[in-house]
Amino acid sequence: MMMANHMLCNAPLMRKPTSNFLKSCLLHTRRLVSVKPSTIDTGFILSLPKLPNPATSDLAYRRVLACYLPPSVFDRIWPRLEKFGEEAVSDRINDHISDAEKHPPYVKTRNVWGAKYPHDRLVTSEGWKRLGEWGIRNGVVAAGYEAEFGPYRRITQHAVNFLYSSSSAVFSCPVSMTSGAGRLLGRQLKDLPLQHPFHEVHRRITTRDSNENWISSQWMTERPGGSDVQGSETFAVLSPLPTQDKTAEMGFDEGDWLISGYKFFCSATDCDVALMLAKTESGQLSLFIAPTKRTVQLPDGSKQLETNGIRFHRLKNKMGTKELPTAELELKDVRAWMVGPIDRGIMTIATLLNVTRTHNFITALSCWRRGMAIAKGLARTRTTINQPLWTFPMHLRLLAGMEIKFQGLLQLAYFTTSLLSFADNGFPSDKPATYAPLPGPGEQTTVVQRALTATAKAVICKVSCIALQECQEAMGGVGYMDEPDEPESNISRLYRDTAANMTWEGTTNVLSSEVVRHLLNGKNLDIFSAWLDGAVIGRVSDLEVQEALKTSWAVLKGRLTPGKKDLGFVLAEGREIMFSLAWVVSGGLLAHDAQRDGNAAALEVSRRWVLNGEGGVGEFVIPEVVHNKQARKYEPKERLNWDCRLVWGVDLPQDAALGYRAPSRKPSGEPEKVVARS
Ligand SMILES: Cc1cc2nc3c(=O)[nH]c(=O)nc-3n(C[C@H](O)[C@H](O)[C@H](O)COP(=O)(O)OP(=O)(O)OC[C@H]3O[C@@H](n4cnc5c(N)ncnc54)[C@H](O)[C@@H]3O)c2cc1C
């Protein structure tokens, strides 16, 4: 009898220790010993295995989806993800990425005679456009707004996004902003008459139809500072069109406001609509939305598309995200509509930030996982001192540490995504009894969601970058190559693109400050603690893990509470507090995941995370929180065997690499000599 997909997910996070996998590893590690001098075409040339399907090859991804989706949803979405994952590593998509990498965008403002174009011409590559269409068609925005998966829709959207982002050549950025605008505008619709243009804008930005789809961007950052947008030098003047110039159907390019100013960082400038902050005469910020172009009638009666008051000063020359057109723009009388209440621009745009930040951390995880897949491909292939790299003890430890880190933050990511999903679409009534420890609907969810969204964005983006550096180094010198024609093995691409995720939508400092101030606001710390202590830590069945987490949270809370009286001093430790918070919450979620089905590998990850402080979230932690007790003791051999299981899903082969040169040792790595231990 066939097993249902969701049942397969509950299978151990390990492959059966058959020798097929080992053979496939070792086939590559056979050393070619040549007696002839090498030439350009002869001698040893390494060849990496093809990148595996990121959906079917990633047991942690599959498991986390089985954790956050009920079987009825999982079974429906999984075949689509399998197919989409196959496409994500296909030659066709790799060709598009190469094209986007090799043809960065450029702007033309005038024709050869010097005449100004009616609108600045931003030229982007074919690859960039095709990758956008591919994502839109597969629901990387729309899935978050379609009714098919009810309350779980954001989780399914980010199941797609996880596979999409690392193959999107940073189209993930416009996707994230469009997705955020979908939530923001969606909330305005109920108070607006049906002929109001926001209905059509919302339909366009949330459709899967790439012929109809609109991309939205947001322009907040100005030269006086992006973290504190209050210094904005952009102004909005109320200036409705004269009645005779207005059309009967309330056109989107007939807004009542004119916006002028200079925006310093504007990504996705090939968008159709843009959100922008500007000050009204009160000096307070309000939020506006405008089409980037408008149709005008010329004196001869013909129609022309011209700029809606937007002029490119220049495209920015960035370290990464080069495919993405990020520009400095001058706005001059941009005709726009106000979104939300006047003078409440920051509050209004915050609705969007929870969505874009969620995209950010899922994108970072996607790129990190791709980097790991590439590095693992090299480890399977490479031998050094005549021993296979994939079983080198130190290399295994490095990869195992990364795997644990990844699994902990994957839990944090999908838990946080589920809160966004349920806060917007209602809490599900059909969730399994073993479902993750959710906060109560209403106030508790609001408090927990806000803290975790900012935390997950900052911590995951930072840790992903550090991990991608490790992936780069794990590839040796080739890891440092940046070959646009070979995206399938280019870790530099993933690293330089992921680095932007640390800064936009709030730097690590800004988010740390936000988390600390939020938790110290009113009763929020008590509300958060009631959830963490009660629903999460209090229900961990592994008592050793429960005790450790309890102590950690008590220490961390003790570091936060003085901030009620002296905020400045506690803010100085803001990063350490936020990263430690991520560590405690992820530890609790890993423990719940393990007890869901008693999976041995999940249990090992949870115990390593909590009891050994392994994997972890990097340098910014309070040591007393993360290492609050004696580490769990291991037999070194047992530990190494677990490293191998966590990374490769199999036991360490009997003739695994020693990791040093032993003169008497025969070369290892012949497939027939490898026997998996049971
Ligand atoms: C590739 C890329 C694309 C971008 N695209 C867009 C876009 O489309 N739209 C848009 O609006 N912006 C965009 N940005 C801009 C980005 O959002 C800002 O750079 C970011 O918000 C920081 O603002 P800033 O550059 O002015 O730095 P500043 O705000 O001047 O920050 C400088 C330093 O001060 C620290 N700091 C600031 N405030 C605090 C605080 N309260 N506590 C502690 N430390 C603090 C910061 O952490 C940072 O290290 C983009 C940036 C990049 C790199």
Q: Read off the pLDDT of residues 358-372 as tens digits, 9 standing for 90 and up.
A: 999 999 999 999 999
Rounded to the nearest angstrom, the distance between the alpha carbon of 457 and the centre of ligand 1 is 14
CATH number at 252 reads: 2.40.110.20
Rounded to the nearest angstrom, the distance between the alpha carbon of 413 and the centre of ligand 1 is 23
- The whole-number average pLDDT for the span 466-490 is 96
Measure the N-to-C terminal CA separation of the chain; round to a whole number of Å: 26
pLDDT at residue 630, as a whole number: 64
Determine contact, residues 255/196, Cβ cutoff 8 Å: no
Given a cut of 90, whether residue 14 has pLDDT beyond it is no
Residue 298 lies in a domain: yes
**Ligand 1: which residue has its CA nearest to atom 18?**
226
Given a cut of 60, whether residue 7 has pLDDT beyond it is no
Which residue do the tokens 């925006």 mark? Answer: 263
Given a cut of 50, whether residue 217 has pLDDT beyond it is yes
Rounded to the nearest angstrom, the distance between the alpha carbon of 328 and the centre of ligand 1 is 14
Q: What is the residue-averaged pLDDT of the chain? A: 91
Residue 617 lies in a domain: yes
Ligand 1: residues whose CB is within 6 Å? 217-221, 225-227, 265-267, 318, 321, 326, 500, 503-504, 507, 509-510, 513
Tens-digit pLDDT profile for residues 537-574: 999 999 999 999 999 999 999 999 999 999 999 999 99
Rounded to the nearest angstrom, the distance between the alpha carbon of 184 and the centre of ligand 1 is 22
Rounded to the nearest angstrom, the distance between the alpha carbon of 10 and the centre of ligand 1 is 42
- The whole-number average pLDDT for the span 477-495 is 96
Domain boundary among 300, 324, 343: 343
Determine contact, residues 498/367, Cβ cutoff 8 Å: yes
Given a cut of 50, whether residue 645 has pLDDT beyond it is yes
pLDDT at residue 664, as a whole number: 61
Pocket test for ligand 1, best of 322, 504, 570 (most atoms within 8 A of CB): 504
Which pLDDT band holds residue 351 (cuts at 50, 70, 90)?
A: very high
Rounded to the nearest angstrom, the distance between the alpha carbon of 221 and the centre of ligand 1 is 7
Atom of ligand 1 nearest to the CA of 225: 26
Q: Which pTM was predicted?
A: 0.93
Q: What is the count of structural domains for the chain?
A: 2
Rounded to the nearest angstrom, the distance between the alpha carbon of 503 and the centre of ligand 1 is 6
Given a cut of 60, whether residue 677 has pLDDT beyond it is no
Residue 438 lies in a domain: no
Given a cut of 70, whether residue 675 has pLDDT beyond it is no
144: how many CB neighbours lie within 10 A of its CB? 30
- The whole-number average pLDDT for the span 88-109 is 97
Which pLDDT band holds residue 131 (cuts at 50, 70, 90)?
A: very high
Rounded to 5 degrees, what angle do the CA atoms 309, 312, 315 make? 155
48: how many CB neighbours lie within 10 A of its CB? 18
**Ligand 1: which residue has its CA nearest to atom 17?**
504
Pocket test for ligand 1, best of 179, 265, 576, 578 (most atoms within 8 A of CB): 265
Residue 120 lies in a domain: no
Pocket test for ligand 1, best of 217, 263, 359, 507 (most atoms within 8 A of CB): 507
- C-alpha distance from residue 283 to each of 233, 234, 337 (Å): 10, 10, 18
pLDDT at residue 24, as a whole number: 57
DSSP summary character for residue 323: T
Rounded to the nearest angstrom, the distance between the alpha carbon of 493 and the centre of ligand 1 is 22
pLDDT at residue 214, as a whole number: 97
Structural domain harbouring 576: 508-635
**Ligand 1: which residue has its CA nearest to atom 29?**
227
Residue 258 lies in a domain: yes
Residue 546 lies in a domain: yes
Rounded to the nearest angstrom, the distance between the alpha carbon of 512 and the centre of ligand 1 is 14
pLDDT at residue 21, as a whole number: 58
Residue 140 lies in a domain: no
pLDDT at residue 20, as a whole number: 60
Using the CB atoms, write b or e for 107-127: b if 16+ within 10 Å. Answer: beeeeeeeeeeebbebebbeb
Q: Dig out the tokens for 111 from the structure.
A: 């024709």
Which pLDDT band holds residue 628 (cuts at 50, 70, 90)?
A: low
Burial class (CB in 10 A: 0-12, 13-18, 19+), 1: exposed
Residue 225 lies in a domain: yes
- The whole-number average pLDDT for the span 650-666 is 83
- The whole-number average pLDDT for the span 597-621 is 91
